[in-house]
A and B are shown apart, each in its own frame.
Chain A
Amino acid sequence: MPMDQSFVGRSYAPTPPYEVGREKIREFAEAVGDANPLYTDPEAAREAGHPDVIAPPTFAFVINQLGWEQIVGDPALGLDYSRVVHGDQRFVWSRPVRAGDRLTVAMHIDSIKTLAGNDVLGARGEIHTEDGEHVVTAYSTLVARPEEGE
């Protein structure tokens, strides 16, 4: 069944703040095999002009994912997460995420389409510090494959 077009334009309340820690950044950088010292060495980060270590670019998705959980957990929307694949992803930064940031994501549903039998949902996560400074916007496309027999 196609998704309800009336959800286009819907916004979700910002998530509670996520505090970005140095060790979490280190763990993420190691997991993606990225040895850039700006992720682990506060001194190197300061020399490059940052107040503390910065996170690898796609770390922003860790926070954005908390917004995705709101969308797929919204019973009114009825998006079956077991059928969802990630179609595309885009980030637009005002500045890098860094240790000490307390970040919230506010999700917005920008589009809902049906393409080749799939429900295709365009979502935008606006990621700000809790003081309201814009850090990064994450644009995602979630593709829900049709159920068997549909």
Chain B
Amino acid sequence: MAATVHFDDVEVGTELPTVTVRVRRETLVRYAGAGGDFNPIHWNERFARAVGLPNVIAHGMFTMASAIRVVTDWVGDPGALAEYSVRFTRPVPVPDDDEGATVELSGKVAAKLDDKKVRVDLVALHNGQKVLGKAQAVVRLS
């Protein structure tokens, strides 16, 4: 569980490299299979619209998985993660075209904690709007 980032090198406010994720229908089909979530709101447009959604939407757990890459890409070892939480505030509609939807992910060190741990606050934006609320991770640095 060896993070490559040193606790002494980071300060509150340190910004992590951003990650941009493109989500296409194929991405959702792949995630449905790998994640075991076959809810039709994530692959069946007819069903999604019938239950009042604007289109097929990305799995919240896909977005949560994408957002934590900001932290795990930064520290190298995902095993250094101690806690991770998000609130699903707004869906990411995924149109049936080659462009799909994009989610812009960023994070910054919000607090330095005991045991060389830091809290990172994450932001996930789709079309400039936050799709995750209170997205926070606690990670142990070296």
| Residues of A participating in the B interface, judged by any CB pair closer than 8 Å | 24, 27-28, 30-34, 36, 38-39, 48-50, 54, 56-58, 61-62, 65, 82, 85-93, 95-96, 139
Residue of B nearest to A95 (CB): B79
Q: A54 to B72: give the CA distance in the assembly, Å.
A: 12
Other A-B pairs beyond A48-B77, A65-B35, A88-B88, 12, CB < 8 Å: A36-B73, A36-B76, A38-B77, A50-B79, A54-B78, A56-B72, A82-B51, A88-B86, A88-B87, A89-B60, A90-B85, A91-B83
* Any A CB within 8 A of the CB of B30: yes
Q: A89 to B86: give the CA distance in the assembly, Å.
A: 6
Contact indicator A87/B88 (Cβ below 8 Å): yes
Query: Which of A32, A48, A93 is within 8 Å of B82, CB to CB?
Result: A93
Contact indicator B88/A86 (Cβ below 8 Å): yes
Give A73 Cβ to nearest chain B Cβ, in Å.
Answer: 15
| Residues of B participating in the A interface, judged by any CB pair closer than 8 Å | 1-2, 21, 27, 30-31, 33-37, 51, 60-62, 64-66, 68-69, 72-73, 76-79, 81-88, 133-134
- Across the interface, which residues of B come within 8 angstroms of A89, CB to CB? 60-61, 64, 85-86, 88
Give B22 Cβ to nearest chain A Cβ, in Å.
Answer: 9
Give A98 Cβ to nearest chain B Cβ, in Å.
Answer: 8
Q: A85 to B66: give the CA distance in the assembly, Å.
A: 19
- Across the interface, which residues of B come within 8 angstroms of A38, CB to CB? 77-79
Give B73 Cβ to nearest chain A Cβ, in Å.
Answer: 7
- Across the interface, which residues of B come within 8 angstroms of A28, CB to CB? 34-35
Contact indicator B65/A32 (Cβ below 8 Å): yes
Q: Lowest 6 A-B CB distances belong to which pairs?
A: A90-B85, A31-B34, A32-B65, A88-B87, A96-B79, A58-B65
Residue of B nearest to A60 (CB): B84
Give B55 Cβ to nearest chain A Cβ, in Å.
Answer: 16
Query: Which of B35, B76, B88 is within 8 Å of A61, CB to CB?
Result: B35
Contact indicator B31/A32 (Cβ below 8 Å): yes
Known contacts being A48-B2, A57-B65, A57-B72, is A31 close to B83, with CB within 8 Å? no
Contact indicator A61/B79 (Cβ below 8 Å): no
Q: A58 to B87: give the CA distance in the assembly, Å.
A: 14
Q: A57 to B69: give the CA distance in the assembly, Å.
A: 9
- Across the interface, which residues of B come within 8 angstroms of A27, CB to CB? 33-34
- Across the interface, which residues of A come within 8 angstroms of B31, CB to CB? 31-32
Give B59 Cβ to nearest chain A Cβ, in Å.
Answer: 9
- Across the interface, which residues of A come within 8 angstroms of B83, CB to CB? 90-93
